[in-house]
Amino acid sequence: MNTEHLGDGTDIDKPEIWIKKFEKLARMNKWNDQETSDVFEFLMSGRAGEWYSNKAKMVEWTSIKKEFLAQFSA
C-alpha cells in the first residue's frame, strides 16, 4: 500500500479531492470502517495531525470525514 502521494490532506487545494482518493484506496483494499479510520489517523500529520490529536477519538469513518471536510475545506 503506497500512500505517499496522498499527503495529510491539507497540503492540497481541495481536501475533497484528497478524501475521494483516500476512499478509493480504502475500497481497493477492502478496508472496513475501523480500518479506514485507523489508516486515516496514521496518515494525519502537520496541521491535520494536530487537528486530529485535539479531537476526541472518533471511530466512525462518516464522522471523521464530515469533521475533516468542515475543518479544511474553504
12-60 pLDDT, tens digit each: 557 888 899 999 999 999 999 999 999 999 988 888 888 888 887 777 8
Cell numbers found for residue 33: 470502517
- Which range among 2-6, 11-15, 53-57, 68-72 shows the weakest confidence by mean pLDDT? 2-6
Please answer whether residues 3 and 24 qualify as being in contact, where contact means their C-beta atoms are separated by less than 8 angstroms: no
Please answer whether residues 37 and 61 qualify as being in contact, where contact means their C-beta atoms are separated by less than 8 angstroms: yes
